[in-house]
Amino acid sequence: MKKIIISLFLLASVNTFAQTETLTKEDLAKELQPLKTSIQTLQKENSSLKTKIGNLNIKLSDANQSIDSLQIQTQNNSNAILQTASQLGVKITTTEQTANKRIDEVGQSLSKNSLYGIIVVLSTILLSGLLYWLLSKRQKTDKNEVVNQLQQTKTELAQEGAKLEMQLLDIIEKQLKVADKLNATESTIDHTFHKNSANELQRIANYTNTLPADSQEAIALQGSLGRLRNYFNASDYEITDFTGNEYDERIPMRIRETIFDDSIDFGKEIIIKTWEPQIKYKNEIIQKAKIDTKYNK
């Protein structure tokens, strides 16, 4: 009888433990579901911002092409004005010499009509000079106005692009926090999102380097990039941008392009751009850097 009671007790305990374990997994699934939903939402926002940034980059490129085209056209106009001025100068000199010769030949016998004719010729010459001066001044004014307008447009596009990059950095930071929470619940760490985020940080860093270093946009972006790099470091990740460093064969890297440059010291090879940074997790390389170099060997 005692054996039967003990067996029933053990069976009831096992059944209670199984129910408790089931409830724990269901609770964990409910906890993870909002996190996964947040990741999907943030990824959609990330994709939308990338599209806007791409459109702005296209507009900026079109603006630069317009500036180049207008500068070429302005130069052509300036050359045409200089050529016209040269021709006018020759004509003015020739006309002046002819007029002086005729004045010497006729002397005091000139009639009033001839005198009026000379006055008309001289007036025409003066009017031509005045028109040339006005045309040159107008051309210079139009050129400055166009260049100023295009420069202002370029500045506005750069400011808007920097704002979108700042928003993208904020989204990346939120996604990193969500990804870290998910990794904390898994037995195996997935580095995929951290790699993608680090590559995106490198792209924004390369864009920031094209802005004036003392501009508000560059300063704000550098601050956000530094904050995210610190977040990576706090999560046991280390990202390295090798731009400007001398190439070291001992460090595993992927060279995308290399070009010859005799302006650098002989025997040197310099990294001129980092497309994807080196990523370490707990001092172990999980992504090699992708770079461009120039050399003189």
Complete DSSP assignment for 241-274: --TTSBP-TTS-EEEEEEEE-TTSPTTEEEEEEE
Amino acid 32: pLDDT: 67
Q: Does 165 reside within a domain?
A: yes
pLDDT in tens, 160-179: 888 898 899 999 989 888 88
Residue 134 lies in a domain: yes
Query: What tokens were used for 296?
Result: 């003189």
**78 contacts: CB under 8 Å, gap ≥ 6:** 139
Place of tokens 């096992």: 14
pLDDT at residue number 208: 93
Phi, psi of 107, deg, nearest 5: 55, -130
Query: Per the domain annotation, does 133 fall within a domain?
Result: yes
pLDDT for position 111:
54
DSSP state of 211: S
Q: Does residue 176 lie in a domain region?
A: no
Contact in structure between 274 and 202 (CB atoms under 8 Å): yes
User: Is there a domain that residue 215 lies in?
Assistant: no
Cβ contact 237:279 at 8 Å: yes
Q: Which residue has the tokens 């172990």?
A: 284
CA distance 103 to 91: 18
Q: For residue 123, what is the domain's CATH number?
A: 1.10.287
Strand 253-260 to 278-281 pairing:
unpaired
- The structure's pTM equals 0.54
Q: Determine the Cα–Cα distance for residues 131 and 135; give it in Å rounded to an integer.
A: 6
CA distance 35 to 208: 31
Helix axes 112-184, 2-106, angle to 10 degrees: 170
How many domains, the chain? 1
Q: pLDDT value at position 22?
A: 46
Handedness of CA 32, 37, 38, 44 (dihedral sign): positive
Instruction: Determine the pLDDT at residue 140.
Output: 67
User: Residue 297 corresponds to which tokens in the numbers above?
Assistant: 């060997």
Is residue 153 assigned to a domain?
Answer: yes
Q: Is residue 61 part of a domain?
A: yes
How many DSSP H helices and E strands does the chain contain? Answer: 4, 6
Q: Do residues 176 and 201 lie in contact, with contact meaning Cβ atoms separated by under 8 Å?
A: no
pLDDT at residue 266, as a whole number: 93
pLDDT of residue 108: 54
Q: Which residues of the chain have pLDDT under 70?
A: 1-25, 27-29, 31-32, 35, 39, 60, 63, 67, 70, 74, 77-78, 80-82, 84-93, 95-118, 140, 142-143
* Domain of residue 68, residue span: 41-170
In a domain, 73, yes or no: yes
Contact 137, 192 (CB under 8 A): no
Phi (first) and psi of residue 245, to 5 degrees = -85, 160
Nearest to 288, CA basis, from 259, 258, 261, 248: 248
